[in-house]
Structure 1
Amino acid sequence: MTARMTNPSLIVPDALRPLLDVTKVLNNAGVPQLTLDLIRLCVSQVNGRPIDIPSHTGEGAERRPTDARLLRMDRWRQDPCYSAAERAALALAESASRLSEGEHTVPDAVWDEAARHYDERELGVLVLQIGLVNLWNCVNVTTRQVPGDYS
């Protein structure tokens, strides 16, 4: 696959820095980094985006995933290695990323389960993380960006 264009975040003046700043804020907002990484992978799966684990968990061999949860995303509902809080975050990410599938795509049961594990600020972090990953997926799919190619 060849990209249709240079990544828009690189050619629209002053667009990339604020997006990276939001990412930094979310990464330092108190939700475990692994949970944020799991959300990145889950949302990308929902969007049919090829999953490039190194790009979602940091660049370079020193950040290659060592946690089995990052490699078992296809069975997060059943695999006992995921905590109840991680499952709740993943269910929220999956529901919130399926907006075209119905008016009420985040059922109360999904929201309530997430709220059992996360306080309001943490829920805000999860929702913003889900939205940000969906934004990147939309940009990358629309312009056919190649996973791992950041030129």
Structure 2
Amino acid sequence: MTNPVSVVPGALKAVYALSQSVQATGVPGPVLELVHLRASQINGCGFCVDYGVKSAKKSGETDERLHGVAAWREMPYFTDAERAALALSESMTRLADRADAVPGDVWEAAAKHYDEQELAALVLWIATTNFYNRVNATTRQQAGSQTW
């Protein structure tokens, strides 16, 4: 089907406004790109992985880092702040994998690197990515196509 955000009046505008708000908080663009890509990989959203890689490349992201996102714990390419954001992205995306959806150590590591507004922005960005993943995977949006 056509992507639901382009079918429901005002939906695309609302989601876009949220994304713009998050991007204006000061969280570095590369961090937002990385957490988007990691959540999309976990959720198996081909559309979002493809879009995320292309967007990150346009922003100057390297192939090594983009390839390394899937195994970020074992890769030397990420800062401690990026690692904290990637761990938060994984926890928020895999809510049902543990009793404590976001373990305290994951939250504390993120809070060490990001102030309250930035941490709020990361939470909203990761949640929005999960929203996109679910919409796109459910409606079988094809990688490489942009229907909204």
Instruction: Give the TM-score normalised by the residue count of structure 1.
Output: 0.87
Q: Which amino acid in 2 is paired with 1:50?
A: G
Q: Which amino acid in 2 is paired with 1:132?
A: T
> Do residues 12 (structure 1) and 12 (structure 2) align?
no
**1:13-52 map, 5 Å:** 13-50=9-46
Q: Distance in 2 between matches of 1:133 and 1:54?
A: 13
**1:1-151 map, 5 Å:** 5-50=1-46, 55-56=51-52, 63=58, 66-67=61-62, 68-151=64-147
How many pairs align? Answer: 145
Where do 5+ consecutive residues of structure 1 fail to align?
Answer: none
CA 1:39 to 1:15, structure 2 compared with 1: closer, same or farther past 3 Å? same
Which 4+ residue blocks in structure 1 deviate beyond 6 angstroms? none
If each structure's helix is expressed as a fraction of its own residues, which one has the higher value? 2
RMSD: 1.9
Report if aligned partners of 1:43, 1:94 keep a CA contact under 8 Å in 2.
yes
Q: Deviations over 1:21-78 (max 9, x none)?
A: 111121221000000000110001111222665522556xx81754232232122112
- The percent of aligned pairs where both chains have the same amino acid is 41
Where do 5+ consecutive residues of structure 2 fail to align?
Answer: none
Which moves more between the two structures, 62-71 or 28-37?
A: 62-71
Q: Distance in 2 between matches of 1:9 and 1:95?
A: 26
Q: Distance in 2 between matches of 1:15 and 1:37?
A: 22
